[in-house]
Structure 1
Amino acid sequence: MNTALLTHVGRVRQMNEDRAWSGRLSEGLTAVIVADGMGGHRAGDVASGLAVDSLSESLKLWDAAWSEEEGTANVRLMIRKANEAVYETASLNEKYHNMGTTVVLAVLTEQAGWIGHIGDSRAYRLRDGELEQLTEDHTLVNELTKTGQISPEEAAHHPRRNVLTRALGTDRDVPADVRTIDWRPGDRLMLCSDGLSGLVAKPLLEETLKQADVPLDRLAEQLVEMALEAGGDDNITVVLVGDVKAPNAAEGGTA
């Protein structure tokens, strides 16, 4: 499998608080991470950086012999360890008080995968031309939508749509959602921060990712360009996994 990773500060923010990583694990497994930090001063990029550093180091120890259940348990442990790293740093330094970050990660074999997340950075899978959201946002508006208090259309423009109900590092113990997925030839996976998913509608994301002959790095560029054209009012990060090899694609990388 091949990957492409691209992050952009956007048109409004002065600093990019998003971080992302992709890499190869043992036995040819692929792993990818996106984190979107939050907090005053430089706290947001510190939180996302700590989370990605912790998770990428943990993922390098992945055992390809783990069962589905063992993989799920270890994704939870890795996210818990990352949460501790952010929480402890915030607790020891006043300028990082209350910093936190979203996180979404994926580990893929040739037939299956694990998705873990906290917050509203998302994972999507494109299969047979249809885009499916694999994660559920941990946000106030999502809770209001699920309980029928607002409609999905109202949620898209709600003034508090960016309020998280869960973020990594804000509390000593923050539960992560972890699920397994199946993986088939021709599938594509997209991880992104809300700087993309919050500005570009799902049908447009789907149409872009359906371009089967376009290299993954070019698709990533197109997606970022679409978010910028839609206003670019947040940092934008996207990581793609699929079959089409991007020119000069590296074996792993961080942004």
Structure 2
Amino acid sequence: MKIAAITDIGSCRQENQDNYCAQQLAGGTAWGIVCDGMGGVNGGRIAARIATDTMQQYFARHMKALQPGMEKTFIMRGFDITNRAVYEKSTSDPEMQGMGTTGVCAYASRGMAHVVHAGDSRAYLFHAGGLRQITRDHSMVQQLVDSGQITREQAAVHPQKNLITRALGVSANIVPEYNRCEIEEGDILLLCTDGLTNMVADDDIAQVLREVPFFDATSILVDRALQAGGQDNITVLLMGVEATEVNNG
């Protein structure tokens, strides 16, 4: 796997409350997480940092014990531990009360991507020139779309589109959502915060991934979001599948 990532404060925010972490592992595997914090003066920034740090520690400590076929259990357990870490900070520090963070985490191995998320930070699969959203936003507006009350087009401009229904650290227990998809040589996994997807349409993201070299694409995507207004922090993480991993896998 090859990895490229970038985060930017955007044009309208006082601080960057996004965070990310990604690592290449032995045997052509990799993992990454993107978080968009919320709450308090510094609460969102700290919640996102705790989440990325906790997930990094979890992979470092437990990765060697991961057995094939147990990926879902493994990544869901990591999210549960991460949620508890953020929640414990939120409830033990009065200044951090009510903080939380979105989270989207992907583990890529043996021709499969395992994705777990809470909130509206997204995972996409770029395959054969097309872009497909893997995750489903945990948001009030997505619920309205799912129930047929509004269209996807109306959702994009809805005044309450940033109200999320799930997040890490808001309660002691979390019900994250798990998805998986096949990946092959040339595919790219995109993890990102809504600072990208609220500003840049999926078709435009796909065009960048088709036309721009892998390691340049992150900064180009951020530039597109800034040109569109940059109303939020922007984080883009790309994980590209290379030929040798598929052959060896």
TM-score (norm 1): 0.91
Report the Cα offset of residue 38 of structure 1. Answer: 0.2
Amino acid at match of 1:240: L
- Which residue pairs with 1:153 in the alignment? 153
Cα deviation, 1:45-65, whole Å, max 9, x if unaligned, reads 100000000011112232375
Amino acid at match of 2:156: A
Distance 1:13 1:146, change over 3 A: same
**Structure 1 SS opposite 2:86:** helix
Q: How does 1:129-208 map to 2 (within 5 A)?
A: 129-208=129-208
**Structure 2 SS opposite 1:155:** helix
- Which residue pairs with 2:76 in the alignment? 76
Cα deviation, 1:208-234, whole Å, max 9, x if unaligned, reads 1112xx432210011000000000010
Amino acid at match of 1:237: T
Unaligned runs of 5+ residues in structure 1 are 245-255
**Structure 2 SS opposite 1:32:** strand
Cα deviation, 1:165-184, whole Å, max 9, x if unaligned, reads 00110011111111222111
Distance 1:86 1:4 in 2: 26
**Structure 2 SS opposite 1:40:** coil
1:217 counterpart (215, 218, 243) = 215
TM-score (norm 2): 0.94
Distance 2:207 2:213 in 1: 15
Distance 1:64 1:226 in 2: 41
- Which residue pairs with 1:63 in the alignment? 64
Report the Cα offset of residue 36 of structure 1. Answer: 0.4
CA contact (8 A) 1:26 1:64 kept: no
**Structure 2 SS opposite 1:54:** helix
Q: How does 1:70-149 map to 2 (within 5 A)?
A: 70-149=70-149
Unaligned runs of 5+ residues in structure 2 are 243-249
- Which residue pairs with 2:246 in the alignment? none
Task: Please report the RMSD computed on the Cα atoms of aligned residues, expressed in angstroms.
Answer: 1.3
- Which residue pairs with 1:38 in the alignment? 38
Report the Cα offset of residue 28 of structure 1. Answer: 3.3
Distance 2:217 2:24 in 1: 21
Report the Cα offset of residue 239 of structure 1. Answer: 0.4
Distance 2:199 2:116 in 1: 23
Amino acid at match of 1:176: P
Q: Which has the higher helix share?
A: 2
Distance 1:115 1:210 in 2: 23
CA contact (8 A) 2:33 2:191 kept: yes
